[in-house]
Structure 1
Amino acid sequence: MSEVKKIATRDSYGNALAELGTEHDNVVVLDADLAAATKTGVFKKAHPDRFIDCGIAESNMIGVAAGLATTGKVPFASSFAMFAAGRAFEQVRNSVGYPHLNVKIGATHAGISVGEDGATHQCNEDIALMRTIPGMVVINPADDVEARAAVRAAYEHQGPVYLRFGRLAVPVINDRPDYKFELGKGVVLREGKDLTIIATGLPVSNCLEAAEKLAADGIDAKVINIHTIKPLDEELVVAAAKETGKVVTVEEHSVIGGLGSAVCDVLSEKAPTQVMKIGVNDTFGESGPALELLKKYGLDTDSIYEKIKAFAK
């Protein structure tokens, strides 16, 4: 069996930006002294006249991006998720969200898989923060194919968009002719009748593997990839819950305020269903190798499988 191709979605971000910049001369990329890490350096090399290094001043970078948006440019402001969503939250809210400007925020190095950078850089709260800003679209792609499509969709969307990317290379699972990316629409990756696994970002591929292990135990799990957390595909979520009766959400993010909370919000109102949330459980991360951290925090394939197996009984 051939080895599955793995690509970090931050690499996808940089490559997609460079391609987008070639096609559209109104694309401008800003970075906060992290171009090598966020991979916006790929855009810088291709389009140096439309790249702005704002230095280690993320809040100012968001303000500059807001100003550029008022002139008709489409700015992609880039930094680690901890800084783009955390440090610059006030500017994102007041300078981008409130006037509903056409700014795209490319946030890399999200979640505990940032690894050795440790707890201060492992942002597990960014989705929760960005969900609260009125009019903000929140996208968390699962692989290279989806990340590239998400960047293009963000460009085409009129209004603020938060894009979440990871540092760790993840399996390419959407490399198929029938794949279609549509804002606000989830993707059914596996049909099933016993329960529904709703996942986003990095753990999606692990959930597919876990579903195969569950099948060997006689548990038929439906797997849905939610790349757009806001607006959420409520119709798909409700239909799946009614069809299978139980729902599990999986995310490399706090179980507070992220995908799990969004799913519970809609189900409590439209289709009360038993839900188990798998994610980071109200704790900070720590320094360590990414794969070991994912295992310790219960986001590897085996941990997801064991938790869902117990929940399915």
Structure 2
Amino acid sequence: MTTRTPRKLTTSAMIASIAEEGQRTAKAPFGHALTRLADERPDVVGLSADLAKYTDMHVFRDAHPGRFFQMGMAEQVMLGAAAGLAEVGLTPFASTYSVFATRRAYDFLCLDIAEPGLGVNVVGALPGLTTGYGPSHQATEDLAILRGMPGLTIVDPADSVDIEQAVPALAAHPGPTYLRLLRGAVPTVLDEYDYRFEVGRAALLRDGRDVLFVSTGLMTVRALTAAAELAADRVDVAVLHTPTIKPFDRATVLREAAKGRLVVTLENHSVVGGLAESVASCLAFAGQTAHLVPIGLPDAFLAAGALPTLHDRYGLSVTAIKDRVRRAL
């Protein structure tokens, strides 16, 4: 009698690719960018809270084992240690999931790192709705939590090009930074738009007369696809990518929003406290008006499940974006 080994059930809910079918991707762009930077700069060190494989920090660990620190499941200790490393002149990149860096270790980030203005780079994986494992792992409010922290630079890259350029830029930038990490097989899109990442600067990727998309993070890739498809409906859409949430490029947003178009914000974050409210306050404080439509996650704890299904349900898919724009016009 023979026995059959049961087939191991797997799920893509935890670490799923955000790339569309057929889209060009780059594997572990953060890990490779950090490794290249460390090849040139001996002051660069890496830390992980038992998640090196799941934050692409394992690429750096394997290339520079003597400069990698495995802190275990202790995010508060990791950020405290990163602060100490920065105090003695090193440039730490500390990686974990966004929920743990923001909810669990906020006080350490605030008082050990931000208050003394130390050059610690916090790298948060699974930002927003990039995992299907429910509220315990979905960092849908990390931008809202961190925007009020004095001196902290916050970056939400769109693709592998953004990440690869942001890593050395953040290492050279004074003070603490927080990077919302896209990991694994990350789309490669911005190389088609003559794009260069600059801290604190937005980039107009395409122009259009009818609608202005102001987007950040992975939603910029969706915005570009939706804009191209809306052109078939004779809707001309501009896309303004805002990779830096703080400091916010108010001048560029105000200039583009003043052109009389429907303004649509797109973010992989709650509509509370993120990009939409950054744009709204920017307009309000300048005394400028615009028809503003926010596309983002609801002010709610989200469901668990497969990412494509969740993105459709919560309005982040390309189809949902196009439908929302058509209703607003």
Query: Are 2:48 and 1:39 aligned?
Result: no
Q: Could you list the runs of 5+ residues in structure 2 that have no partner in the other structure?
A: 1-20
- Corresponding residue for 2:16? none
**How many pairs does the alignment contain?**
308
8 Å CA contact retained: 1:170, 1:202: no
Residue 57 of structure 1: which of 66, 71, 74 is its match? 74
1:212 to partner: Cα distance: 2.0
CA deviation map 1:264-294 (0-9, x unaligned)? 1101121222211111110112221112211
- Corresponding residue for 1:119? 135
- Corresponding residue for 1:225? 241
1:310 to partner: Cα distance: 1.0
In structure 2, relative to structure 1, the CA distance for the partners of 1:229 and 1:205 (3 Å cut) is same
Q: Give the counterpart letter for 1:161 in structure 2.
A: T
1:21 to partner: Cα distance: 1.0
Aligned runs of 1:12-23 on 2, under 5 Å?
Answer: 12-23=29-40
Could you tell me how far apart the structure 2 residues matched to 1:3 and 1:281 are?
29
8 Å CA contact retained: 1:113, 1:294: no
- Corresponding residue for 1:259? 275
- Corresponding residue for 1:239? 255
Structure with bigger gyration radius: 2
Could you tell me how far apart the structure 2 residues matched to 1:171 and 1:69 are?
32
Give the TM-score normalised by structure 1: 0.95
- Corresponding residue for 1:278? 295
Query: Are 2:318 and 1:295 aligned?
Result: no
Percent sequence identity over aligned pairs: 39
Query: Are 2:155 and 1:139 aligned?
Result: yes
In structure 2, relative to structure 1, the CA distance for the partners of 1:247 and 1:89 (3 Å cut) is same
1:245 to partner: Cα distance: 3.4
DSSP 3-state at the match of 1:277:
strand
Query: Are 2:56 and 1:5 aligned?
Result: no
- Corresponding residue for 1:164? 180
In structure 2, relative to structure 1, the CA distance for the partners of 1:73 and 1:170 (3 Å cut) is closer
Q: Give the counterpart letter for 1:236 in structure 2.
A: T
Query: Are 2:205 and 1:186 aligned?
Result: no
| Structure whose residues are more often helix by fraction | 1
- Corresponding residue for 2:225? 209
In structure 2, relative to structure 1, the CA distance for the partners of 1:280 and 1:99 (3 Å cut) is same
Give the TM-score normalised by structure 2: 0.90
1:168 to partner: Cα distance: 6.7
1:256 to partner: Cα distance: 0.5
8 Å CA contact retained: 1:96, 1:160: yes
